[in-house]
Amino acid sequence: MDVAAMDAILAKFPTIRGNLIGILHEMQSHFNYLPEEDLRYLSKKTQIPITQIYSIANFYNRFSLKPKGKNTVCVCLGTACHVKGAERVMDEIKAQLKVDVGESTDDMQFSLEEVRCIGACSLAPAVVVNEETYGQVAPKQIHGILQKFKK
Amino acid sequence: MPTMINLTINGEKIAAPEGTSVLQAARQAGIFIPTLCDYEALEPEGTCRLCIVELSGSIRPCIRVSCIQEVKEGLVVETETERIIKNRRLILELLLGRSPYCRELLDLAGKCGVMTSRFLTGEDDDCIRCGRCVRVCRDKIGAYALCWVNRGYNRKVATDFERLSEYCIGCGSCAQVCPTGAIKMEDRGNQRRIYTWGQVVARFELEKCEKCGRYFAPRKYIDWMRRKAFKPKGIELIDLICPECLRKTERPAPAKVPFGNGAFPAW
Amino acid sequence: MGSTTAKEIVISVCAGTGGVAAGGFNVIEAFKAELDKNGLSANYQPRVHKVGCRGFCAKDVLVDVQVDGKTETYQFVTPEKVAPIVSEHIVGGKPVKKWLVKKDYHIFHDKQQKLVLANCGQIDPESIEEYIAAGGYRAASKALGMGPDEIIEIIKASGLRGRGGGGFPTGIKWESCRRASGVVKYVLCNADEGDPGAFMDRSIIEGNPHAVIEGMIIGAHAIGSVEGFVYIRAEYPLAVERLRRALEQAREKHFLGKKIFGTEMDFDIKIVLGAGAFVCGESTALMTSIEDKAGEPRPKYVHTTDRGLWGKPSNLNNVETWANVPMIIEKGAKWYAGIGSERSKGTKIFSLVGKINNTGLVEVPMGIPLRDVIFKIGGGIPKKKQFKAVQTGGPSGGCIPASLLDMPLDYEHLSEAGSMMGSGGMIVMDEDTCMVDVSKYFLQFCVDEGCGQCTPCREGVFQMVRLLNEITEGKGTEKHIGLLEELAATIKDTSLCALGTSAPNPVISTLRYFRDEYEAHIFDKHCPAGVCKALTHFYIDADKCTGCTLCARNCPAGAITGEKKEPHVIDQDKCIVCRICYENCKFGAVQKG
């Protein structure tokens, strides 16, 4: 539980109304997930029932209730990527990281996510690691890409 | 007097007060429309889709759910057309696919002419995701102990972080409004348990009635009601008296429970 | 620079998501450094700026080099190519021919009519000054001097229809929102572009964010609103950043805030970030999401123009629709209505992706034949493969077969063909695409992305995916198609929101045009496209195999054996049907069966 961080996040929002998802985004990027204690603190501070917050945290793909790895590998499974073989890229990443979608590696270096279209269809198949987009990815490039992010 | 609206349901001319739903109007006229998520005291959400009807007359012909559609002058409603029956039966089959042993659902399906489902999933889940429990807890009781989690096929009812709820007051309304008995409340001795899918969501110790000595309600619930709800005029709310003893007293019974139709079983 | 004969040098580097991913920012830095090194910076004040996506992302990084008014475009620019371009072209006056764009770049643009995207690729999206210099905010200023009804009449007369899906007439929507009772009203912009294969809204915001803001200002004045929201996907960080910057700049110029443009009108716009839920692109779900709840659609028997966000009258249009508004005010309804087909006016932006040579973003007048888009602008299908279908309208749309290629592209014809305009994603499929697999893909998408409130969509679409899975696994029976059709009809009739009612569309349209493929899967246990693993095997045609060993070297399962220069053989027991050999063989020796 990090009161100072939470208060700093809440201070960024002049009103709560219409900003709950924004607050959760800030929390997600600060903590790398949504810790239970901090969500309860948020509920107390904002008077929004914890069940409503919990429901939202579960509903949206961008929020995670489990700690995530240092780097997030996001494979685009949009239609363009699908017809251009994104599944093979996904399979290769799964094999190299030895995790399934939604999981993190044991050393917490990587989390694997899938996304339905990042709108980079002309780069299909696309993979996003943290903020960096890789286009026309072939399975054999995966090792090199992942290596760049390993500390 | 509210304005009366004239409409036709299954060829029958009916007048219903403005603002009532087609479903309510049909019920008042003795016409049966099957439904699972509708509950009198709750705002309709229109999610089970069983109460679909065909509409025409004063609006463009369409299929809508009758629990949300309000009556409208000149509306022509058909509740049992071939298309409606076909759709309704398929929806029931889909629900049975996940809840094949749910007695209430089987009864309703039987009434609508569905005997088996072609969509068995191998699951045995009595919850049909009608959301009555979530709505009563949130909108009527105000305890906010239940919510929806996950999306799509994985949507389900849960407490916060899917553990014993701190927010549940043990009123049992969720179990009371559940159409299939997926949420159950059980009083045994001085213990009350509310559980679903074999998992306890809340556990309480019950207080004794000062008059008859029967265990009847959790302390949290009694306090909640006193703080939140009604103070019947003319009577002092005496602590710890069970509803039955309260009824037997000479005083006028608390006419206005905050939420009608005996939905508070313990009060 | 007064009267000196200074060279005017402008370098425009594509910095949309595509350009950035291809290294656009590094190219900008390289140009700046190289111009410095050559002493050009000091003498000629060259301008190196980033511009939005010009559409042809497959050629990124694209760079326009303009010297004294003459522009040349380079493709696939990398930092290494910058030094020769500066020394040979800018200093030496001779463009580096081998790196210039080729004929296909011009063909790609020939049939297009860029109105909404006109500024993309021309101006720096992060500079309000460049937007104003290009005529920006003139329309808003003009509109604020007009009466709201007058504006609504212009929009109605222009024939503008919603670019996000159903194609509802924009002017009529504005009018009902204006007439709805209530003091507080909202204007909303849907930038939750979630259709897989669509990225026109992202490109507009990345390349020309002020057009959207300007459109919303005009709409707010017409409707009588002081508060606007842009609901944008968190998956678009660059677009969010550029929009945020654009809003700040507009506030500084008093185009947003109190008493905008020196009038009595107050209006400001807030960004609301989505959080990864496709269903939030549905209008009522978008509003519930802004209201701090899970984005679940509401039954829509009362229009959102009467009761929308927080129960107040709300007018929601998507990014492309808003971006059309300023030019309609500026150039008039008559001019706008002169573009397009009879009932679909103006232009439409499509994202042309999939199995097509020229992938990218194209803007064409409504009514243009589909064939022109695919085979002229798009340059046809790669590797001389056969065109099979084009999918439009995202998960709610359908597949259009080759027999309808001459169809004009507009709202009416697309829905007649069993598809829809949607937001404009256009995914091209060739003979190697399996239509059963594509349907399964879209329905699985709806299972993953549906909210789960209503029974038919939650349970029904899930069951459809189960049936499709069985078909692709070779377990299909003659009952499967009947069940699929039965489910599709009920889901269409009874679902709560538009995502549900349209979820079966991909199956309905593929059953209409490609029923034989379903039947091949079910009765012949054969996937004609060679995609469904259980129904496909690959073998090597010994007559065509040259023994080059490429396939054997790339086979991840070690299933291919053979001596060099001798025909190779695939061991069917080891083969995992990954298709790598099929796609890599240069002699067409690997066959699917």
Please give the pLDDT value at position B258: 41
Same domain, B88 and B56: no
Q: Examine the domain organization and report whether B157 and B200 are in the same domain.
A: yes
Q: Does residue B262 lie in a domain region? A: no
Distance between CA atoms of A20 and A28, rounded to whole angstroms?
Answer: 12
| Separation of alpha carbons A72 and A70, rounded Å | 7
- CA C440/CA A82 separation, integer angstroms: 12
In-domain check, residue C78:
yes
pLDDT value of position C3: 38
Name the β-bridge partners of C345: C340
Tell me: do A78 and A141 sit in the same domain: yes
Considering the domain boundaries, does residue A9 fall inside one?
yes
> Which residue in this structure is represented by tokens 């409340």?
B185
Same domain, C491 and C551: no
Tell me whether residue C208 is in a domain.
yes
Q: Are C493 and B52 an interchain contact pair (Cβ–Cβ within 8 Å)?
A: yes
With bands split at pLDDT 50, 70 and 90, how would you rate the model's confidence at A150? Answer: confident
| Residue B194, domain member (yes or no) | yes
Lowest-pLDDT choice from A20-29, A120-129, B67-76: A120-129
* Average pLDDT of the segment spanning A109-128: 88
Strands C63-67 and C47-51: unpaired
The yes-or-no verdict on residue B256 having pLDDT over 50 is no
Distance CA C54, CA C325 (A): 20
A58 in contact with B, Cβ within 8 Å: yes
Domain containing residue C80: 9-102
Same domain, C485 and C359: no
Whether residues C155 and C246 fall in one domain: yes
Whether residue C516 sits in one domain with residue C454: yes
3-state secondary structure of A93: helix
Please state, in angstroms and rounded to a whole number, the distance separating the CA atoms of residues A68 and C488.
Answer: 39
Q: Which residues of A touch B148 (CB under 8 A)?
A: 55, 59
Domain count, chain C: 5
Do strands A110-115 and A132-134 pair parallel, antiparallel, or not at all (unpaired)?
Answer: unpaired
Specify the pLDDT at position C1: 38
Task: Summarize the confidence of residues B31-43 as an average pLDDT.
Answer: 94
Q: Do A131 and A88 share a domain, yes or no?
A: yes
Q: What is the mean pLDDT of chain B?
A: 87
pLDDT tens by residue, B102-129? 999 999 999 999 999 999 999 999 999 9
Using the beta-carbon criterion (under 8 Å), do A58 and B149 form an inter-chain contact? yes
Tell me if B261 is assigned to some domain.
Answer: no
Tell me, yes or no, whether B254 lies in a domain: no
SS3 labels along C401-430: EHHHCCCECCHHHHHHCCCCCCCCEEEEEE
* pLDDT value for A113: 92
Same domain, C79 and C64: yes
- Identify the domain containing residue B228 by its residue range: 132-248
Q: Which of C430, C465, C484 is the endpoint of a domain?
A: C430
Q: Domain end: C523, C545, C562, which one?
A: C523
Q: Any residues with CB less than 8 A from the CB of C63 and at least 6 apart, and which?
A: C11, C12, C13, C14, C27, C31, C73, C74, C77, C85
Q: Determine, yes or no, domain membership for B204.
A: yes
Token output for C305:
């123009």
**pLDDT over 60 at B251, yes or no:** no
CATH of the domain at B75: 3.10.20.740
**Shortest CA distance from B157: residue in chain A:** A55
Asked if the model's pLDDT at residue B51 lies above 70, the reply is yes
Q: Does residue C529 belong to any structural domain of this protein?
A: no
Question: What residue numbers bound the domain in which A75 lies?
Answer: 71-149
> What pLDDT is attached to residue A119?
76
Number of domains comprising chain B: 3
The answer on C324 and C246 residing in a single domain is: yes
**A47 inside 8 A of chain B by CB:** no
Residue C172 in any domain: the answer is yes
pLDDT of B263 > 50? The answer is no
Same domain, A54 and A121: no
Residues C378 and C460 in one domain: no
Terminal CA-to-CA distance of chain C, rounded, Å? 71
Nearest CA in chain B to A47: B144
Across B219-228, B236-245, C32-41, least confident range: B236-245
Question: How many domains would you assign to chain A?
Answer: 2
Same domain for C202 and C287?
Answer: yes
Report the neighbours of B using a cutoff of 3 or more CB pairs below 8 angstroms: A, C
- Return the SS3 of C463: helix
ipTM: 0.91
Is some CB atom of chain A closer than 8 A to the CB atom of C277? yes
SS3 A127: strand
Question: Helix or strand or coil: residue C511?
Answer: helix
The b/e string for C336-356 (b: 16+ C-beta within 10 A; e otherwise) is beebbbeebbbbbbbbbbbbb
Residues A94 and A134 in one domain: yes
Same domain, A28 and A84: no
Are A77 and A116 members of one domain? Answer: yes
Together in a domain, B91 and B10:
no
Nearest residue, CB atoms, A62 vs list C272, C275, C295: C275
Residues of B with Cβ-Cβ distance to A50 under 8 angstroms: 144, 160, 167
Output the domain CATH number for residue C82. 3.40.30.10
Residue A21 is nearest to which of C202, C292, C391, comparing CB atoms? C292
Give domain status of residue C125, yes or no: no
Residue B255 lies in a domain: no
Give the CATH number, domain containing residue C417: 3.10.20.600
DSSP label at residue B3: P
If asked whether residues C426 and C441 sit together in one domain, one would say no
Question: Do C543 and C501 sit in the same domain of this protein?
Answer: no
| SS3 assignment, position C293 | coil
Out of C447, C454, C483, the one facing B47 most closely (by C-beta) is C454
Say if residue A80 is in the same domain as residue A44. no
Whether C399 and C463 map to the same domain: the answer is no
The pLDDT assigned to C2 comes to 39
Q: Does C427 touch chain A (CB under 8 A)?
A: yes
Does residue B210 lie in a domain region?
Answer: yes
Q: Are residues B54 and B34 in the same domain?
A: yes
Subunit contact B90:C447, Cβ cutoff 8 A: no
- Alpha carbon distance C240, C512 (integer Å): 40
Q: Evaluate whether B97 touches B121 at the Cβ level (below 8 Å).
A: yes
Find the CATH number of the domain harbouring A144: 3.40.30.10
Of C430, C460, C484, which one is at a domain's C-terminal end? C430
Residue A7 counted as domain residue = yes
What tens digit of pLDDT does each residue of A51-102 get? 999 999 999 999 999 999 999 999 999 888 888 889 889 999 999 999 999 8
Task: Enumerate residues 280 to 299 of chain C having a beta carbon within 8 A of any beta carbon in chain A.
Answer: 289-295
> Which of B47, B84, B86 is the best mutation test for C, with the most CBs of C within 10 A?
B47
In whole numbers, what is the pLDDT of chain A averaged over residues? 92
Are A118 and A138 members of one domain? yes
Burial C90-108 (b: 16+ CB within 10 A, else e): bbeeebbeebebeebbeeb
Contact state of C294 with A59 under an 8 Å Cβ cutoff: yes
Q: Which of residues 41-70 of C touch A (CB under 8 A)?
A: 57-58
pLDDT above 80: residue B265? no
User: In sequence order, what are the beta bridge partners of B173?
Assistant: none
Q: Which chain B residue has its CA at the smallest distance from A54's CA? A: B160
Chain C: residue whose CA lies nearest to A77: C196
Query: Could you tell me if residue B265 is inside a domain?
Result: no
CATH number at residue C587: 3.30.70.20
Lowest-pLDDT choice from A1-10, B236-245, C199-208, C283-292: B236-245
In this complex, which of C21, C234, C293 lies closest to A123 when CB atoms are compared? C21
Does residue C439 sit in the same domain as residue C498? yes
* Coil, helix or strand at residue C582: helix
Residue A143 neighbours by CB under 8 Å, 6+ apart: A96
Query: Which residues make Cβ contacts (< 8 Å) with residue C11, sequence separation at least 6?
Result: C31, C46, C47, C48, C49, C63, C64, C65, C66
Q: What is the mean pLDDT of residues B56-60?
A: 95
Taking chain C (593 residues) in runs of 10, the rounded mean pLDDT of each run is 63 88 91 90 87 86 92 94 94 93 91 93 94 97 97 98 91 97 96 88 94 98 97 92 97 97 97 93 95 91 93 97 98 97 95 91 95 95 94 91 96 93 91 94 93 96 98 96 98 95 96 97 96 93 94 90 94 90 91 88
